[in-house]
Each structure stands twice: as structure tokens, then as C-alpha cells.
Amino acid sequence: MFYNEIFDKNIFNSKLAIAYGFSKVGDYYILQSDIDVENFNVIVKIGKYSFEVNVIELPFNEEYILFNVSDSKGKFVSKIRRNVNELIEDIVKNCFTSLDYRKILLDYVKEKYGTIPEEPWEDNNHATIKTTNTKKWYGIFMSIPYKTLGLDKSGKIDVLNVKLNQELIENLIDKKHFFPAYHMNKKYWISIVLDSDVDLNLVKSLIDKSFKLVEKVKD
């Protein structure tokens, strides 16, 4: 099973991986690890933007196929998944550098505009940023499933909605980094995916444009 979305918010550090116990084999870094399930172990294979996990049944060294079936249920396969997830979390913690773009951008608006984010909704990970005078939103950070953007990935990704003029929105939308606004007026707002390919300088400039547009500040 692949967990390539890990690279959206993290950068792999090969030196840390070697220290962790990975071995370099060709273009890949491979780790074989025991888990707390008798007669099973896990092989983790990391390449360029590739994070693959296979569960192996011993002593036959055969792949445990049910692990790869997302809708398979039962106590046994659930226990294996829980152990694998714990291992993945530990690998990400010790072998990757986290890229917290939301924090970087929130620090930017705090320093430039004195903006303190608000979290107006319970039970989600959304944050709004408001202009100084009009107290209107000029940005909304959201954590949403990839699939809501039409992307064939599992898990969630941070996006930032900003307000821009229509012509700029039309020029920016590429269905890769820029999307029609999620849960906002698509005519005036755009969603920016905050993954490892994001151009932070461009995003900051779009935040500035959104602030000026909402606050009605002339250039």
C-alpha cells in the first residue's frame, strides 16, 4: 500500500533514515521491521515521492493481501493496521522534516497585518483571518479530503482560500495547485493547495492582494 501523500507536508532525510535503520538499495531506502503481531513483519520502501508499505506473513514470506484492501474489516486486520500506522508515524517523525505551511503563512500575516487567526467552527481544523478595519475574511485555512478537490489521493490536505479578481482566478486555476474555491463563491475566491510544491512567495503575494481587495486598499 502506498502512502505518497506523506510527501505533501514532509521532506525525506536520507541520513536520518539510515540512522533509523533503513538500508539504501539502488534508488530506494528499505526497512524491514517487526510489529506487535506474531508471525508478521513490515517492509517499508521509500523512493523519490514514493512511500510503500507491505505486510509480510511469516514464515512463508508472503504478502498479506488483506492489508491492501481498504474496506477489509475484522479485529485481526485492524490490529495490523494500527501497528503499521504507529510505525509510519514514528518513521515520519524521525526520518522526515515537517513542512507546516499553515504556520509559516499565519506567522506572515501576524507579522505584516497583526492578524490573529480565529477558529469559528467546532470539530474541524479551519481557521479564518480577518482584515484590520472591516473585520472581514481575507483568508480561510481548511483541512479537507483530497477527493473534495477531485484528486485521487487518500487523507487530507491543507488549503487556503483567498479572494481575488475574476481574471486572476481564471488565469491561476490549474486543478493541481489552484482550484475553484471550496465552500466559497467560486467567482471571487480560489483554493490554494498547501503541499510541498507550493510557491510560498506567490501565496504570500496572493494573500496581500486578498487583504487589499477586502479592505479596499488601493495600490
Say whether both 86 and 114 belong to one domain.
no
- Regarding whether 164 and 143 lie in a shared domain, the answer is yes
**Same domain assignment for residues 88 and 117:** no
Strand order in the sheet with 178-180: 127-130, 137-145, 156-163, 189-193, 178-180
Domain boundary among 98, 119, 146: 98
Helix (H/G/I), strand (E/B), else coil: 144: strand
pLDDT at 219: 61
Distances in whole angstroms, Cα of residue 178 to Cα of each of 62, 66, 86, 97, 131: 42, 36, 33, 24, 23
How far apart CA 30 and CA 16 sit, in angstroms, is: 13
Residues 62 and 141 both lie in one domain: no
What H or E segment, with its residue span, contains residue 189?
Answer: strand 189-193
| 178 and 77 in a common domain | no
Q: What is the pLDDT of residue 123?
A: 64
Give residue-wise pLDDT tens across range 149-198: 888 888 888 999 999 999 999 999 999 899 999 888 889 999 999 988 88
- Residues 1 and 55: their CA atoms lie apart, in Å, by 9
| Residue 32: per-residue pLDDT | 97
Q: Are residues 48 and 144 in the same domain?
A: no
Residue 16's pLDDT is: 97
Shared-domain flag, residues 110 and 192: yes
- State the residue range of the domain holding 60: 4-98
**What's the CATH code of the domain at 188?**
3.90.1150.30
d(C-alpha 105, C-alpha 101), whole Å: 6
pLDDT at 124: 66
Domain boundary among 98, 133, 167: 98
The conformation of residue 2, written as its DSSP 8-state character, comes to B
The pLDDT value given to residue 197: 85
State the pLDDT at residue 211: 96
What pTM was estimated for this model as a whole? Answer: 0.70
In this prediction, residue 18 carries a pLDDT of 98
Nearest 5°: the CA angle 103, 89, 145 is: 60
- Name the domain boundary from 34, 65, 98: 98
Specify whether 40 is located in the same domain as 143.
Answer: no
Whether residue 112 is found in the same domain as residue 88: no
How far apart CA 69 and CA 97 sit, in angstroms, is: 30
Largest CA distance in the chain: 71
Residues of the chain with pLDDT under 70: 123-124, 218-219
Element spanning 57, H or E: strand 50-57
One domain for residues 192 and 207: yes
Shared domain check, 64 and 138: no
Residues 108 and 27 grouped into a single domain = no
Domain count, the chain: 2
CA dihedral 5, 63, 13, 19 (to 10 degrees): 150
183, 139, 146, 179: which is closest to 162 by C-alpha?
A: 139
